[in-house]
């Protein structure tokens, strides 16, 4: 039952017709009840309302943005004068603070994004091996970025030879050049490759000279 409407198994197993994404009407056949048509049209209207022209789900994008914003300052919520509910609650307290929400919120958002991301790649005709390769590359990339970011606060300027701020500036610039989402065309392919090699040339020396 959906909003008081009875939908049979035959209605839900229609395979010869697909519901258009950007239209508010669907073709009627003998298998479709008026209630099912109304439900499909309502679903399509809601889908169009929460999707951009690039078929992005705004609710996930908004949650991703809020989570990343909280990540930026969640570690700075322990200074005097900050309300207790903004930080982590003690293990003995039955409750959650805003900081306690960041990690589970991030994991929830990632879990919601994975099926859509893989589904879009399957619709584009990508092979299973290519999708697995993309997942492996993305995983390794995130691990590298995470290690670099975590150690940026531990740079010892005296033993490294440059200050912590300079080391971090060079490192983050290299990360941006390598992992930026470029719009690749036939004309700028060489430029993108050059920028990524430049980013690697910036990061590798920082890793070599790093002293904590």
Catalytic residues: 88
C-alpha to C-alpha distance for 170 and 150, rounded to whole angstroms: 15
Cβ–Cβ < 8 Å for 160, 167: yes
Supply the angle between the helices 164-179 and 128-152 in degrees, to the nearest 10: 170
**Among 111, 107, 94, 103, CA closest to 74:** 103
φ, ψ at 51 (rounded to 5°): -120, 140
Structure tokens at 34: 């008026």
Whether the CB-CB separation of 174 and 202 falls below 8 Å is answered with yes
In whole angstroms, what is the distance from residue 90 CA to residue 15 CA? 53
- Do 40 and 19 touch, CB atoms closer than 8 A? yes
Contacts of 89 by beta carbon, 8 Å cutoff, 6+ apart: 95, 96, 97, 100
> Which residues, 6 or more positions from 155, have their beta carbon under 8 angstroms from its beta carbon?
163, 164, 167, 168, 210, 211, 212
């Amino acid at each position: 039952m959906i909003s008081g409407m009875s939908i049979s198994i035959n209605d839900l197993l229609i395979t010869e017709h697909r519901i258009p994404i950007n239209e508010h009407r669907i073709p009627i056949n003998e298998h479709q009840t008026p209630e099912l048509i109304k439900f499909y049209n309502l679903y399509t209207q809601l889908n169009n309302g929460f999707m951009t022209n690039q078929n992005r789900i705004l609710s996930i994008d908004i949650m991703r943005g809020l989570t990343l914003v909280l990540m930026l300052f969640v570690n700075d919520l322990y200074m005097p004068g900050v309300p207790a509910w903004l930080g982590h609650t003690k293990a003995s307290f039955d409750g959650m603070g805003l900081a306690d929400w960041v990690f589970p919120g991030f994991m929830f958002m990632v879990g919601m994004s994975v099926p859509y991301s893989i589904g879009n790649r399957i619709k584009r005709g990508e092979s299973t091996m290519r999708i697995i390769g993309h997942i492996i590359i993305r995983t390794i990339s995130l691990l590298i970025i995470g290690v670099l970011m975590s150690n940026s606060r531990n740079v010892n300027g005296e033993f490294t030879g440059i200050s912590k701020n300079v080391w971090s500036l060079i490192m983050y610039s290299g990360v941006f050049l390598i992992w930026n989402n470029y719009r690749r065309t036939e004309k700028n392919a060489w430029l993108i490759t050059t920028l990524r090699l430049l980013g690697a040339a910036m990061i590798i020396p920082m890793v070599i000279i790093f002293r904590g």
